[in-house]
């Protein structure tokens, strides 16, 4: 019953969003350690300078209770159910922010559920069918831009070791996740930004990708920059 009520409320909010102007929705994807959180903060600062309003910076999994459940490393079926429930709840909060015509910058969204799916090696599993299921969860709440962040496996592994020295980092696991993100980027036409070098370069490239969104939402000043 709770699930049904949440779905009905989500779709009501979707219809409200579709009937009025909304803020921009930007998603950053990529393996752990690739720099999503760092880039999200930098982009938020740039967007605030151009629009005068600080974007809502968020991430998935988002719900604190569900995050704690995931830390207990449940079985694959339970884990997937928790992730999908988290996304349903999170989409509702994102919709509220978009209704206020604010920008949303989110680290991980639907693509991450596809990439980290624990059933990818099962004989009955089909990637395209699962992606259609995910898209149904967020019907008409498509990001304006999804960027896949990428770096070599050894760079990602070293960052993870620096961040969490006690954890065992498997470069083989990183490579599998990295390859699935790149595969998805190619299938869906998501731009890929290299984060192995300077953060300034990654920010600059990402801002170039945001240019069409700014062009739609902000008036241009005579010198070609955007004003608010």
How does 67-90 read in b/e, with b if 16+ C-beta sit within 10 Å?
eebeeeeeeeeebbebbebbbbeb
Read off the pLDDT of residues 187-211 as tens digits, 9 standing for 90 and up.
999 999 999 999 999 999 999 999 9
Q: Domain 2-210 maps to which CATH number in 1.25.40.20, 3.60.20.40, 3.40.50.720, 3.40.50.300?
A: 3.40.50.300
56-59 β-sheet, strand order: 56-59, 104-107, 25-29, 145-150, 192-194
| Bridge partner residues of 227 (DSSP) | none
Q: What percent of the chain has pLDDT over 70?
A: 84
- pLDDT exceeds cutoff 60 at 47: yes
- pLDDT exceeds cutoff 50 at 225: no
- pLDDT exceeds cutoff 50 at 220: no
Read off the pLDDT of residues 126-140 as tens digits, 9 standing for 90 and up.
888 888 877 777 766
Half-sphere exposure of 136 toward its Cβ, with a 13 Å CA cutoff? Answer: 7
Read off the pLDDT of residues 100-129 as tens digits, 9 standing for 90 and up.
888 999 999 988 888 888 777 788 878 888
- Structural domain boundaries of the chain? 2-210
**What is residue 4's predicted lDDT score, i.e. its pLDDT?**
59
Three-class SS state of 128: helix
Q: How many residues does the structure list for the chain?
A: 228
For range 59-82, the mean pLDDT: 82
Q: Which tokens hold the place of 183?
A: 């595969």
pTM: 0.82
Q: DSSP for 168-198, please give it.
A: ---HHHHHHHHHHHHHHHHHHT--EEE-SS-
Three-class SS state of 76: helix
For range 32-38, the mean pLDDT: 94
């Amino acid at each position: 019953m709770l699930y049904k009520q949440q779905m009905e409320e989500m779709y009501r909010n979707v219809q409200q969003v579709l009937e009025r102007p909304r803020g921009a929705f930007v998603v950053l994807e990529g393996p752990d350690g690739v720099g999503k959180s760092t880039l999200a903060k930098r982009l938020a600062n740039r967007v605030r300078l151009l629009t005068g309003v600080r974007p809502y910076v968020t991430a998935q999994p988002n719900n604190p209770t569900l995050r704690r459940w995931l830390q207990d490393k449940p079985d694959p079926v339970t884990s997937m159910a928790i992730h999908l429930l988290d996304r349903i709840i999170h989409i509702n909060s994102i919709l509220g922010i978009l209704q206020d015509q604010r920008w949303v910058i989110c680290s991980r969204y639907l693509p991450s559920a596809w990439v980290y799916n624990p059933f990818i090696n099962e004989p009955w599993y089909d990637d395209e069918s699962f992606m259609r299921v995910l898209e149904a969860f967020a019907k008409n709440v498509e990001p304006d831009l999804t960027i896949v962040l990428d770096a070599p496996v050894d760079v990602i592994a070293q960052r993870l070791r620096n961040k969490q020295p006690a954890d065992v980092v498997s470069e083989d696991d990183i490579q599998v996740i990295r390859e699935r993100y790149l595969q998805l980027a190619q299938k869906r036409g998501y731009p890929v930004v290299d984060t192995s070098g300077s953060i300034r370069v990654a920010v600059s490239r990402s801002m170039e990708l945001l240019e069409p969104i700014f062009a739609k939402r902000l008036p241009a000043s005579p010198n070609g920059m955007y004003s608010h």
